Every structure is written in C-alpha cells, then in structure tokens.
Amino acid sequence: MKKLFTFQILLLSVSFFADVYPADTLIFNSTILKDARKVLVFKPHNLNSRDSVSILYIPDGAYSDYYAGCISGNASIEPMLVVGIVSDRRNDLLYVNHASEYLSFILDELVPEIEKAYKIKSRILFGHSFGGGFTLFALHNGRGGFDKYIASSPTPIMGLTDTATYLRIDSLLVKDIKLYCSYGSEDMQQVRKWCRQFSDNLESAQFSHIRLKMEIFEGEDHNTSSEYAIVNGLLF
C-alpha cells in the first residue's frame, strides 16, 4: 500500500527571500483554447538544459510570482522551474465551465513546449482556491500527467470527493503519485465542509499508487493558508 494519510494541525514558519527566481514572460497561442495565454517562467539561477529539474505548474498563474517567492532560496526545497499560467479563473479553473479544455491545453500544448529543453525529474501541479479545485479535477481527468498534486483550500470540490472514484483512479495509474491537500482552520465554511468530507471519505481507502496527506493550518484563513501549503506540499 502506497499511502500516507495524516490529519493534523500544523503551523509552519515561512521565510521570504529577496533573491527570487528571475522570470521570463511568454505568450502561448493555444489551438485548443482558441486564445492566447500569458505564461510566466521562473528559472533557478544557473539552471541549464543539462540539469535534471522538477517543474512546478501553477494554473492560476497571476499569483505565481508570490509562490515563486515562497520557495526560492528556501534551503529545504530543491531549486525548480516554476511555470505560472495566467488564467481566466472562473472560465478556466471551474470544472463546471471549461476546465477540461484548459487542462488539455496545459498537458497537450504547454507542457511539451516548456519541457523540450530540460530533463524532467518530476512534474508538479499546485493550485489554491479555484486552482486547488482544478488540481483535484486534473487528478481525475489528467491521465496521470503529474507526479504530485498539491491542492490548497480547494473549492468547489463537491463532485470530487467520492471514494470509489479515487480507487478507480488508483487502479488505472501506472506509477506512484502524491496527493497533498490542506486548508486553514479559519478557512471559508464551504472549504472546511468539503475538505472534511474529502478526508473522511479517503481516510480508510487502500491505495496502491496514491500517497495521500491532508493538513489543517491552525489559525490560518483562506487567504493566508496557501503560503504554508505550497512549502509543506513540496516537502511531502
């Protein structure tokens, strides 16, 4: 069984560093979306194409400079490429709207282009709020496209908490993956409600390929919990 499930209250001190990864701004014209997307690529200093590198994809990329700042210079986290895709949040990230097309754009158009210049160690998806809901949606629909899924205060997830669905996903996986989910003890009511449902449903599930961890950040709300989630999620 490849599963680690903990449900705990944790407060992690996060340091911020002035030495943030330098960023390139790219414009991708998507055939799938029939639209252009701005993509911010934050590169660790001295990274070159001969290096084996992990890549962190952030589908709600308007905030990717903040998250790159949370992890750059943190000695506990390996240097990694951070790719933030600037989205139309409601249209792109909500599974009741056009999340399927947005996920296809990421996996079928963006990922091959970004990764053609690097040797890839691992591919990670991180999202907060609507982005967290999209992260769980991507696990359900993304053909195992990522090695780790970090869902911070995910919403909405009403249709993404069913135990049988996660067992089916696990049975179809051909590699081990990690799934990390967190929220704040003072988070929005619907986030706390559905994350509790998510943890209750999956607590006793027996997985072969999914390693799962859930954390609650005591005293943190919907806006403040994400900085802890990205660090702890990457360290998981």
List the chain domain ranges.
7-235
Q: Which pLDDT score is estimated for 51?
A: 75
What is the rounded average pLDDT for all residues in the chain?
89
Taking the C-alpha atoms of residue 64 and residue 85, their distance in angstroms, rounded to an integer, is 8
As a whole number, mean pLDDT of residues 4-28 equals 57
pLDDT tens profile 21-47: 888 999 999 999 999 999 999 988 877
pLDDT tens profile 178-229: 999 999 999 999 999 999 999 999 988 999 999 999 999 999 999 999 999 9
**Phi-psi domain of 214 (left: phi exceeds 0; alpha: psi -120 through 50; beta: other):** beta
Buried b (16+ CB within 10 A) or exposed e, 42-55: bbbeeeeeeeebbb
Q: β-strand 210-217 against 7-9: which pairing, if any?
A: parallel
User: Do 178 and 147 contact (CB within 8 A), yes or no?
Assistant: yes
pLDDT tens profile 92-137: 999 889 999 999 999 999 999 999 888 899 999 999 999 999 999 9
Q: Kindly report the number of other CB atoms within 10 A of residue 34's CB atom.
A: 8
Taking the C-alpha atoms of residue 31 and residue 190, their distance in angstroms, rounded to an integer, is 35
Q: Which pLDDT score is estimated for 19?
A: 58
Q: Kindly report the number of other CB atoms within 10 A of residue 25's CB atom.
A: 10
| CATH superfamily to which 7-235 belongs | Alpha/Beta hydrolase fold, catalytic domain (3.40.50.1820)
Taking the C-alpha atoms of residue 18 and residue 10, their distance in angstroms, rounded to an integer, is 26
What percentage of the chain has pLDDT greater than the value 90? 72
